[in-house]
Amino acid sequence: MPSPHWSAPVAHAPVDATVPLPGSKSMTNRALILAALADAPVCVTRPLHSRDTELMADALRALGTGIGEDGGDWQVLPGELRGPARVDVGLAGTVMRFLPPVAALASGEVFVDGDPRARERPMGPIITALRALGAGIDDGGRDALPFTVRGTGSLTGGHVTIDASGSSQFVSGLLLAAPRFEKGVAIRHEGPPVPSAPHLAMTVHMLREAGVRVEAQENLWHVAPGPIGGGERVIEPDLSNAAQFLGAALVTGGRVTVPGWPAETTQPGDALRGLLGAMGAEVSLGPDGLTVRGPGGFRGLDADLHEVGELTPVLAALAALADSPSRLTGIAHLRGHETDRLAALAAEINGLGGDAEELPDGLEIRPRPLRGGVFRTYDDHRMVMAAAVLGLAVPGIEVENPGTVGKTLPDFTRLWASMLAPA
Ligand SMILES: O=C(O)C1=C[C@@H](OP(=O)(O)O)[C@@H](O)[C@H](O)C1
Ligand SMILES: C=C(OP(=O)(O)O)C(=O)O
């Protein structure tokens, strides 16, 4: 049952808060895949516990991996991968694109399905690539979920050409399992540019951390076959989920600090430093974490978000409250995310009296006074976060199905309330 509406709280004063954030979804789900394929036990330290990561853990358990919890950390005991199994990917892009290459290594059939919207998200390139690398996949000719991977216990691997312009996750999914393919993998991308470069860098970095030999050039990746090491993998805080909290400093002319912000990271959320700075925020990174201060008013944003698409919903909400127009481009692929995010953001901002226009590859947002009303969220966690940002300045926003935020941040409304509580 969807949860009842959530009344997004108005900020009656500038926020002044330190907001510790749970672990990165993208790092947690990569760490779980690498751990399940490792040659020794792995401790995933400070992982994210959310719908997307619990689905990944359950999927790997279904294939024979031991995953136990110890004080919030995950202790992973790699096991022989086997079917028959059924895997629920929910609406998690990381599970639907990262798990099938692992399923192809299992002995036995693995049936993979997810939420109704998951059946609409692009999967063709990874299905085609896995077949080219030697996997048997029965998808009833749909080129989409649901499908059955007919694992034989091994996969040949080798050279493959794909069009990953719809999602970087097609490349990441193949790379993560590739050390266990007999020939490893050599992937060539052909087509419009691949989005989300930082997420690809994260995949390469985490593979290398686990001792895997990876070469990455533009549109070309090579993973050598070989063992994946065990040990400890420490997960950074989720910097993409910092967007709405740091944005609150801008909207209210206040201060928000996110502790534990890494000095160096592959997370796309690190781009918030430059993006919020361009909108007028004062941004400083120090031993206490990342601090953003809002000067009062703030400017709109003209930015190509191709590399950091998942920041779009919160940036669009900020744009609707800014002092000048914004143009966010390079994000056509967001139409294949949890929902068509360009359509959803335009519809919901305009539903509050705003002026947001869909471009083929982005959004143009001209600030206008907004009014309260119901904000639909389309099973998209980041639509809840965007609505919360708008609610800081616009009384009467009722957020539909706020529980959907549990995809990556189940504790969101509590963290939001405590950020707004007087110190
Ligand atoms: O690999 C990852 O962890 C992710 C890659 C990106 O996907 P796309 O390249 O499909 O946008 C991003 O939007 C998603 O939230 C997480
Ligand atoms: C696009 C996103 O998620 P997914 O991993 O499901 O693609 C996101 O978290 O913004």
The per-residue pLDDT for range 205-219, each reduced to its tens digit, is: 999 999 999 999 999
Ligand 1, atom 3, lies closest to the CA of 26
Kindly identify the ligand whose nearest atom is closest to the C-alpha of 169: 1
Active-site residues, by number, are 310
What's the rounded Cα separation, in Å, for the pair 104 and 164?
20
Q: What's 307's DSSP letter? A: G
pLDDT given for residue 354 in this prediction: 98
Structure-token pair, residue 174 = 């193949």
CB neighbour burial string for 125-152, b if at least 16 within 10 angstroms, e if fewer? bbbbbbeebbbebebeeeebbbbbbbbe
Give CATH 3.65.10.10 domain extents, the chain.
6-21+237-420, 25-222
pLDDT given for residue 2 in this prediction: 52
pLDDT tens by residue, 165-188? 999 999 999 999 999 999 999 999
Secondary structure E strands in 253-411: 255-258, 282-286, 289-293, 302-304, 326-329, 355-359, 362-366, 373-375, 397-399
pLDDT given for residue 422 in this prediction: 78
pLDDT given for residue 4 in this prediction: 82
**Does ligand 1 lie within 6 Å of residue 165's CB atom?**
no
The residues, any chain, with a CB within 8 Å of residue 98's CB and separated by 6 or more, are 29, 30, 33, 56, 169, 172, 173, 176, 177
Which of 119, 145, 239, 310 is the best mutation target for the ligand 2 pocket, counting ligand atoms within 8 Å of the beta carbon and taking the most?
A: 310
CB 162 within 8 A of CB 171: yes
Q: How far is the CA of 65 from the centre of ligand 1 (A)?
A: 24
> Which segments of 43-182 does DSSP mark as H helices, in order?
51-62, 93-103, 124-132, 169-177
Q: How far is the CA of 15 from the centre of ligand 2 (A)?
A: 28
CB 345 within 8 A of CB 363: yes
Is the sign of the CA dihedral 57, 61, 67, 69 positive or negative? positive
**Does ligand 2 lie within 6 Å of residue 341's CB atom?**
no
Closest-lying ligand 1 atom to the alpha carbon of residue 30: 3
DSSP string for residues in 161-209: EE--TT-THHHHHHHHHGGGSTT-EEEEE-SSPPS-HHHHHHHHHHHHH
**Does ligand 2 lie within 6 Å of residue 403's CB atom?**
no
Q: Which amino acid is at 342?
A: L
Edge to edge, what strands does the sheet with 85-88 contain?
A: 85-88, 107-113, 147-152, 136-138
Low-confidence ranges of the chain (pLDDT < 70): 1-3
**Does ligand 1 lie within 6 Å of residue 195's CB atom?**
yes
Q: What's 239's DSSP letter? A: S
The gap between the terminal CA atoms of the chain, to the nearest Å, is 35
Ligand 2, atom 9, lies closest to the CA of 310
Residue for token digits 């951390």?
Answer: 209
Q: Is the ipTM of this complex over 0.95?
A: yes
Q: Is the pTM of this model over 0.90?
A: yes
What's the rounded Cα separation, in Å, for the pair 250 and 293?
6
Fold designation for 6-21+237-420: UDP-n-acetylglucosamine1-carboxyvinyl-transferase; Chain (3.65.10)
DSSP string for residues in 260-288: T--SS---GGGGHHHHHHHTT-EEEEETT
Q: How far is the CA of 320 from the centre of ligand 2 (A)?
A: 22
Q: Please provide residue 407's backbone torsions phi and psi, each rounded to the nearest 5 degrees.
A: -55, -40
pLDDT given for residue 224 in this prediction: 98
pLDDT given for residue 204 in this prediction: 98
Q: Which CATH number fits domain 25-222: 3.30.230.70, 3.30.70.260, 3.65.10.10, 3.10.180.10?
A: 3.65.10.10
The residues, any chain, with a CB within 8 Å of residue 202's CB and separated by 6 or more, are 26, 27, 30, 172, 266, 267
341 annotated binding-site participant: yes
**Beta partners for residue 194, in sequence order:** none
